[in-house]
Amino acid sequence: MTVSRRKSGAKNSSGKRKALLDDHLVLNSYMLNLFGMKNFKELKEILKQTEEGFDEEGRSYMFHALYSLKKLEPRLKPMLEDYDSNIREYMEHINQSRETPIKLKYFQYLSVLFGEI
């Protein structure tokens, strides 16, 4: 049995666009606006291609991808470094007693970052 999924912008029988859950999530819209994005798919495509982990200076590759966004909210830029440092510290604490360290996937990084914001 296959399950059909509604695509963003799907229309109902009267030709009107169907309301999607994403359209009603206030914090979702707020967070996306901070990064100059109209929808999550845009942000996902950028971060999905980004390497996991941290560089030699201790900054995550996700940080670099987000910091270089052209439409990034200017007020967020100085705070983004602090948030990324906090995430690195969380990861160091989590990995401290692990044989195999874990790395955050883009959606995990965003979850922690959104919590920081």
> Residue-wise pLDDT tens for the chain (117 aa)?
444 444 555 565 666 766 665 566 567 788 898 999 988 899 999 999 999 999 999 999 999 999 999 999 999 999 999 999 999 999 999 999 999 999 999 999 999 999 998
Assigned domain for 1 exists: no
Assigned domain for 106 exists: yes
Assigned domain for 35 exists: yes
Assigned domain for 10 exists: no
Q: What total number of domains does the chain contain?
A: 1
Assigned domain for 3 exists: no
Cα–Cα dist 28/15, whole Å: 26
Assigned domain for 16 exists: no
Question: What residues make up the domain containing 109?
Answer: 21-116
Assigned domain for 15 exists: no
Assigned domain for 4 exists: no
pTM over 0.85: no
Contact in structure between 73 and 33 (CB atoms under 8 Å): yes
